[in-house]
Amino acid sequence: MKRGMLILSVFFFALILVGCKSNEKTFSGAGVSITLNSSFVEKEVIQAPFYLESKDHLFMALRETKTDLSTYGIADLSSYIEAVLSNASKTATVETFEEGDLLYKYAYYTSTVGDQTFGYMLIVMEGENHFYSMNFGCLEDKLEDNKDLYFKWSKTITVE
């Protein structure tokens, strides 16, 4: 009887371990790598070369060469984020995030598409040869609740 219970216990423990899959998935594209939850799927869209979407969130990224941007006087993250916001006709307060080797500038803004308003967290990072512009997005009324999640996800971003 004890042996049967031991085998049964080992069997259930093994099932528990097999059932404990990671809910995280790493995605890569356009020189960017990010770890999000596995509900995200990659899609092809015109707006960005790297676009991920889940039921409640989106992430998109693009990169621009430092050489091309230098012709417009853009040489650092501060001038780059200001140019990105200006180009999109957005005004926002720009903040800096720095933790260990991770450094980026970010800002929040909204945009209306059709009859829906979305809230975005814009992040810009600097790589070796490129500047990167990335956005997390959700419905505007959910943005405040998602800010901590977006910071968590942003800590997994690496750029070339």
Spatial separation of the C-alpha atoms in residues 123 and 96, rounded to whole Å: 10
Out of 7-16, 23-32, 41-50, 131-140, pick the least confident.
Answer: 7-16
Please state, for a pLDDT cut of 90, what percent of the chain lies above it. 86
pTM of this structure: 0.86
Which position has the higher pLDDT, 20 or 43?
Answer: 43
Instruction: Provide mean pLDDT across the span 35-61.
Output: 97
Secondary structure element (H or E) that encloses residue 83, with its range: helix 77-87
Distance CA(139)–CA(141), nearest Å, equals 6
> Which class does domain 23-159 fall in?
alpha beta
- High-pLDDT (> 70) share of the chain, %: 86
The torsion angle over the Cα atoms of residues 27, 58, 56 and 83, rounded to 10 degrees, is: 140
Q: So where are the chain's domains?
A: 23-159
Lowest-confidence segment of 13-17, 51-55, 118-122 by average pLDDT:
13-17
Number of residues in the chain? 160
pLDDT per position as a tens digit, 65-107: 999 999 999 999 999 999 999 999 999 999 999 999 999 999 9
Angstrom distance (rounded) from CA 47 to CA 40: 18
Please tell me the predicted confidence (pLDDT) of residue 22: 63
Whole-angstrom distance, CA of residue 104 vs CA of residue 95: 9
Closest CA to 60 of 49, 46, 74, 70: 49
| Distance between CA atoms of residues 41 and 156, nearest Å | 17
